A = this chain, B = another copy of it.
Amino acid sequence: MTIETAIVALSDVLGDRLSRSKSDLDAHGMSETHFAPAPPDAVAYPETTDDVSRIMAICHAHGCPVVAFGAGTALEGHTSAIRGGVSLNFSRMNKVLSVHPGDLEAVVQPGLTREELNRELRNTGLFFSVDPGANASLGGMAATRASGTTAVRYGTIRENILALEVVLADGRVIRTGSRAKKSSSGYDLTGLFLGSEGTLGIITELTVKLRGQPEAISAGVCGFDAIGQAVEAVVAVIQMGVPVARIEFVDTEAVRAVNGYSGTDLPERPHLFVEFHGSVASAAEDAQRFAEVVADFGASDVRVATKTEERSALWTARHHAYWACLGLRPGATAVVTDVCVPISKLAEAVEETRADIAASWIPGPILGHVGDGNFHAILLVDPKAPDDLGEAKRLAGRMAERALRLGGTITGEHGIGMGKLGYMEAEHGAAWEVMGEIKRALDPAGILNPGKVVRGN
């Protein structure tokens, strides 16, 4: 009863849907950020829920670890197979199973990416709103409780998933939630599996909420003299209830990176990127109210983009900011922080963080979904410099402590994986024990993504 015996049994069932090629193993052991490679012993390519159920039953019987793998865009080492075992690659379970336009719902498989989903929806007048930047898989987004630029208006994935199909550790298949818009029927298992990072079950189907394409979209950028002014402007916009669809902060260093990478010509100062959705009248009214508020905080260089191409260029530049920042230090890898604080504490959190990074030798541009109080420092680490990773982790640790001191959380949207395990006790105290009790109830053998989220797993 070992990983090896499990793989023999899996091979009988899966045939060529199980791979042990070195390139496959290496590709599934990689991390998007600074984690050392940790390849699995085999990669399975399930094509149906039944495949997943049979894989889990075998791995359960043999005590073999299982790590779900979507698009590989996780930032905290979620998909690293640190105890070996089998990586479940969902690229063959990537269909839109049904679209229900009248109910604003679609049923999809976990390997489908958000861009693929929105491409398929293009002619329906509907879209899926959650947009973490990366072209992540829906299963992965659900498993990490992802959000991104539009959460300020449309909510995170938590508010945009109605129902799941999940395969449990022992191979049982369950359905959570329903196609009804709300329910009080027992424990919210959908919510429990969202954000569980593959440690409680494997998501094999998702019923997602869709939104009507807004009649009008307008977008803009504006610059500020100082970080504090930009962030205070955001706080005022949110507190006044201006219904921004996106509102993103990009600091001076990140602006420099974006200009270099995407060919934009933004002045090198802190900026906000903003977008409004609505009727022609309401989007214009919202943009006007926004302009009035930010003017009070010294906003200048205001540019408005109402044409699709202009908007597209703007948001593509924002979405590529991570790679743009990596480009600031060629050869660097990143420690990406992800704190989220109450909006009233945002200016304090960002300014203290900026000062802390400025006092270090590590470059760390800051950007984020500030309408939700969520921001990231991209701490650039030279893998060959012996002290860099330690210094970046020290800065990240101080950001986490600062967020907790201000009533916030250590991760707004990236999740725990391996990278934030060390702060879980500080954030959750005895509630972290409760997470472990739930984990042991649903996965007594500890085969689901071991080493992630909970203690001693």
Contacts and interface: CB of A to CB of B under 8 A. Distances in A.
Interface of A: 100-105, 144-147, 151, 155-156, 158-159, 168, 172-176, 178-189, 191-192, 194-196, 200, 212, 235, 239-241, 279, 281-282, 285, 338, 340-344, 372-374, 403, 407-416, 420, 424, 427-435, 437-438, 440-442, 453-454
B374 A342 contact: no
B100 A184 contact: no
Nearest to A178: B409
A440 B454 CA distance: 19
Contact of A285 (B147, B281, B454): B281
A180 B413 CA distance: 12
Contact of A411 (B184, B196, B416, B441): B184
Contacts of A240: 212
Nearest to A413: B184
A120 B168 CA distance: 46
A239 B102 contact: yes
Contacts of A440: 441
A104 B414 CA distance: 24
Given A102-B343, A168-B434, A344-B103, A427 B178 contact: yes
Nearest to A211: B241
B174 A429 contact: yes
A179 B103 CA distance: 32
A311 to B, nearest CB: 21
Counting from the closest, the 3 A-B pairs by CB-CB distance are A191-B191, A441-B441, A179-B407
